[in-house]
Amino acid sequence: MTEDRWQDFPEAQGGCQCGALRFHISAGPARATLCHCRMCQRASGNAFAPLYEVPDGRISWSGQPKEWASSNLATRGFCDICGTPLYYRSQGTTEIMAGTLTPDFPYRPHDNCGVESRKDWLATLHSLPDRPTSPDLLAGVVSYQMAEGI
């Protein structure tokens, strides 16, 4: 882990799907990493966690995230209304789950960590058949997620 993984990013915003929790992150150096470790898999309910790491002081919140200590080293933040996993916090930095950033934010991961637990099928994604969401389904969906306002 070297310090050169810190790169400059513009300001960011995002929040949970119900809108009770919103965050703003000022522009500056950050790290964009995909974490494949088993603890992130369990905390995110996903194959890996796309993380956007910034110093704690650069984040301001509207609403108060619920936290749970997943180890002696780290706390996980989430919305206790809609259940969205929001971050991993440890040692002065917060690693935002990148899926909660607004879609206009130029998140692009530059490395993988926790690769001892990486799912081998991730290497086959490019060869799987692609299927867009059905237009008929989309036409009938009434979303209860907060508009992202990009």
Residue 146 interacts with Zn ion (CB under 5 A)? no
Q: Which of 75, 81, 99, 148 binds Zn ion (CB under 5 A)?
A: 81
Sites for Zn ion among residues 37-56 (CB under 5 A):
37, 40
Q: Compute the distance between CA of residue 87 and CA of residue 78 in angstroms, rounded to an integer.
A: 7
Closer by beta carbon to Zn ion, 92 or else 129: 92
Closer by beta carbon to Zn ion, 10 or else 102: 102
Interface size with Zn ion, residues (CB under 5 A)? 10
Residue 96 interacts with Zn ion (CB under 5 A)? no
Residue 74 interacts with Zn ion (CB under 5 A)? no
DSSP 8-state code for residue 38: H
Closer by beta carbon to Zn ion, 103 or else 132: 103
Q: Which of 18, 47, 59, 146 binds Zn ion (CB under 5 A)?
A: 18
Q: Compute the distance between CA of residue 52 and CA of residue 28 in angstroms, rounded to an integer.
A: 12
Q: Which of 114, 117, 146, 148 binds Zn ion (CB under 5 A)?
A: 114
Q: Compute the distance between CA of residue 76 and CA of residue 69 in angstroms, rounded to an integer.
A: 6
Q: Compute the distance between CA of residue 112 and CA of residue 149 in angstroms, rounded to an integer.
A: 30
Q: How many CA atoms lie within 13 A of 68 on its CB side?
A: 10
Which regions of 36-150 does DSSP assign to beta strands (E)? 49-55, 59-62, 66-69, 75-78, 85-90, 93-97, 111-113
Residue 59 interacts with Zn ion (CB under 5 A)? no
Q: Compute the distance between CA of residue 108 and CA of residue 99 in angstroms, rounded to an integer.
A: 12
Residue 98 interacts with Zn ion (CB under 5 A)? no
Q: Which residues bind Zn ion (CB under 5 A)?
A: 16, 18, 20, 35, 37, 40, 79, 81-82, 114
